Amino acid sequence: MNEPPATPVIEMRDIQIGTMRDTSLTVLENVNWSVAAGEFWVVAGQQHSGKSDFLLLTGGLMPPAAGDYKFFGNETRIFDETRLTDRLRMGFIFENAQLFHYLTIAENIALPLQYHTNLPVDEGVQAIEDLLELTELKSVAHATPASLPRSWHKRAGLARALTLRPEILLLDNPLGGLDARHSQWWLRFLDQLWRGHPAFGGKPMTIIATTDDLRPWRSARRKFALLKGKQFVTLGSWNEVSATQEPLVKELLAVPLEEPVAAAIEKEERETNF
C-alpha cells in the first residue's frame, strides 16, 4: 500500500515578499516552493536580489505581502506569541550573526536556553560547553563579539541557533566573507547536521541556506534554487545546475561569460537598480 505523501515542512504558494524596512516594496513575486523534511536547499542570488528578505519571511520574521505560507501544514503569516512552539522548531543564522553586543559569546549562546527553560544563569552549563566544544568556540567563550573576527561571530550565531535543537536550520549566506578554512568547516558541519549529528540525537535536519557563490555548495544531494529579477526559480540538483545555460547561474559559478552575455547582465542590473 502506498503511504500518503508527507506534509511539506515549508510550502509557499504565490508568495510576494517585501522588505523588512519597507513592506510596500516588492523584492520577490509569485514564489511557489515546497520543502520536504530532511532536504538541503541552497538558494542562490546576487547581492540585493532579496535573499535575506526571502529567508526572513521563511523564518516567520516578516509577513508575506501576498500569498499563502504554510509551516508544517499550518497557515502562517508571522510567528507571534501563539506560534512559539513552531518558532522554536526553526533555527535562524543571520548573515552578520547579529550577536547581542553586550553579552559574551557564551552568554549569547546560553540566552535562548535560559529564557525558554528558565535555567538559572549558572546551570545548563554542560549543554553550552558542549556547543562551544562542537563549534570550536571554547577559547573565545568569554570574549565579547566586538573583540572577535566576523568568522567567529557566524559560528557563535550557529551555536545560538542550535541551542534549542531546531528541526529546520535557515542560514543567510553562511559562507559569505569566510576564508577557505572556515568555509570548509561550515560545509562539513552543515553536512553532518543534515545527515543527523550525534550531538543532536542523530536526527537529520532540514537545511536552507542562501548564497551569492554556488561553487562551494557543489553536491549531488543538495537542491538548488535561484533568485533572479524578482522571480524564484527552482533549478533542481547539482547536475541540472551545472548543465544549465542560465547566464546568472554561470556568473554565480564564476564561469567566464561571453562578452554579449556579460553586457546583457550588466544592462539588466542597471535597469533593476542593483
Partner 1 sequence: MRGNLSKVFELTETQLFRRAPLPKSYTDYLGRKLFLFLLTVQGLGAFALITLGVILKKFSVAPNLMRPIVRQEITRAGAKMLPMFLFVAIALGFLVIGQTVSVAARFGATDYIGTVMVTVIVRELGPLLAAMLMLARIGTATVIELGTSRALGEVEALEAVGIDPIHYLVVPRVVGMTLGVFSLTVYLILAALGSGYLFAFLQNVPLTPGDYVKQIAESLSWLDFALLALKTVAFGFFIAIVTCYHGLAQPLRLEEISRVTVRAVAQGIMVCVAIDALFILLYLNA
- DSSP one-letter code for 45: E
Give yes or no for residue 142 binding partner 1 (CB under 8 A): no
Q: For residues 70 and 8, is the Cβ–Cβ distance under 8 A?
A: yes
> H or E segment at 247?
helix 247-252
Among 6, 14, 74, 100, which residue sits at the site for partner 1 (rule: CB under 8 A)? Answer: 100
DSSP string computed for 161-189: HHTT--SEEEESSTTTT--HHHHHHHHHH
Give yes or no for residue 80 binding partner 1 (CB under 8 A): yes
Q: Which stretch binds partner 1 (CB under 8 A): 78-86, 148-156, 186-194, 244-252?
A: 78-86
Question: What sign has the CA pseudo-torsion 190, 194, 198, 200?
Answer: positive
Residue 274, helix vs strand vs coil:
coil
Cell 529564557 appears where? Answer: 115
- Between 115 and 274, name the residue whose CB sits nearer to partner 1: 115
Residues 7-46 as x/- pattern, contact with partner 1 by CB under 8 A: -------------xx-------------------------
Cell 515542512 appears where? Answer: 9
Residue 6, helix vs strand vs coil:
coil
Question: What sign has the CA pseudo-torsion 50, 52, 53, 59?
Answer: positive
Residues 107-126 as x/- pattern, contact with partner 1 by CB under 8 A: ----xx-xxx-xxxx-----
The three three-digit cell numbers of residue 179, written as one number: 576564508
- Between 168 and 226, name the residue whose CB sits nearer to partner 1: 168
Tell me the number of residues near partner 1 by CB under 8 A: 35
Give yes or no for residue 150 binding partner 1 (CB under 8 A): no
- Between 160 and 223, name the residue whose CB sits nearer to partner 1: 160
The residues binding partner 1 (CB under 8 A) are: 20-21, 56, 59-61, 78-81, 84, 87-88, 91-92, 94, 96, 98-102, 111-112, 114-116, 118-121, 160-161, 163-164
